Amino acid sequence: MGSETIVLAAVWYVAFLLSLTCHEAAHAWVARKAGDPTAYEAGQVTLNPIPHMRREPIGTIVAPLITFFANGFMLGWASAPYDPRWRQLYPKRAAWMALAGPTANFVLVILCIVAIRIGLLLGAFTIPASLVFSHMVSAAGGGLAEGLAQFVSILFSLNLMLGAFNLLPLPPLDGATAIGLILSDSMALRLAAFTRNPTFSLIGILVAWQVFGKLAGPIFRAGAALLYPEAYPL
């Protein structure tokens, strides 16, 4: 295992942890504002990744490192606790809480776009000849700019995909709860009861993975168009 692989793994892991931490902290913050202090009391309204790692060590440490060294990219998960009784009493509030996680990911995407465009204006970055997940922008020189270009590339792509994946309306993904915003309270409650079954969550993940495999290409192209509308128009 070379030093370049170790450095790349470190860059990936920082971007991965930042993405998951922002996602879960957003869930926890909105839940507290909406009347459920469960995640707040567990210490998860924070951008410190340690509480999130303690809650899900397999999803935040073991799984991402295994998938990186096996496949060259990181997969994992985290979670924020909530009170099921609160969700039953306030299904619309729970839907906003669910939507907060993907929203945080898309905010990070926007921040990456701003950083990349500023880098282009300053001459630190250039638009690469072809775009791939971990190479959305090139550094004009070496050193710090090169490391920053790789980090912001991974952060952009990772959050674009993480936000979109979690919006799929399948349990246990956030979209299965967020869809309650367009349903009546009674329908949202029935959906919540249906999705609490662990069997449906397993089926939902398997189906979501298959569906997202067909959506990932168009989503990536849409992200490229947002980043470089002059080079990749929709």
Instruction: Share the mean pLDDT of the chain.
Output: 94
Q: Is the pLDDT of residue 44 over 80?
A: yes
Query: How many Cα atoms within 13 Å fall on the side-chain side of residue 56?
Result: 17
Q: pLDDT for 97-156, tens place per residue?
A: 999 999 999 999 999 999 999 999 999 999 999 999 999 999 998 788 899 999 999 999
Domain that residue 49 falls in = 1-79
Domain presence at residue 45? yes
Q: pLDDT for 173-185, tens place per residue?
A: 999 999 999 988 8
Report the DSSP beta bridge partners of residue 132. 135
Are the C-beta atoms of 55 and 78 separated by less than 8 Å? yes
Domain presence at residue 1? yes
Domain presence at residue 35? yes
Catalytic residue, candidates 4, 24, 41, 56: 24
Domain presence at residue 138? no
Identify the band that residue 2 occupies on the pLDDT scale cut at 50, 70 and 90: confident
Would residue 24 show up in a list of annotated catalytic residues for this protein? yes
Query: How many Cα atoms within 13 Å fall on the side-chain side of residue 169?
Result: 11
Domain presence at residue 88? no
- CA–CA distance from 77 to each of 9, 24, 206 (Å)? 17, 10, 15
Are the C-beta atoms of 126 and 140 separated by less than 8 Å? yes
Domain presence at residue 180? no
The rounded distance, in Å, linking the Cα atoms of 116 and 74 is: 22
Nearest residue to 31 (alpha-carbon basis) of 105, 94, 101, 99? 94
The rounded distance, in Å, linking the Cα atoms of 11 and 2 is: 15
Which residues have a Cβ under 8 Å from the Cβ of 224 and sit 6 or more positions away?
Answer: 131, 136, 232
Q: Between 194 and 161, name the one with better pLDDT.
A: 161
The rounded distance, in Å, linking the Cα atoms of 197 and 18 is: 30
Domain presence at residue 223? no
Domain presence at residue 36? yes
pLDDT for 143: 81
Alpha carbon distance, N-terminus to C-terminus of the chain? 40
Q: Which residue has the tokens 């309306």?
A: 169
Structural domains in the chain (count): 1
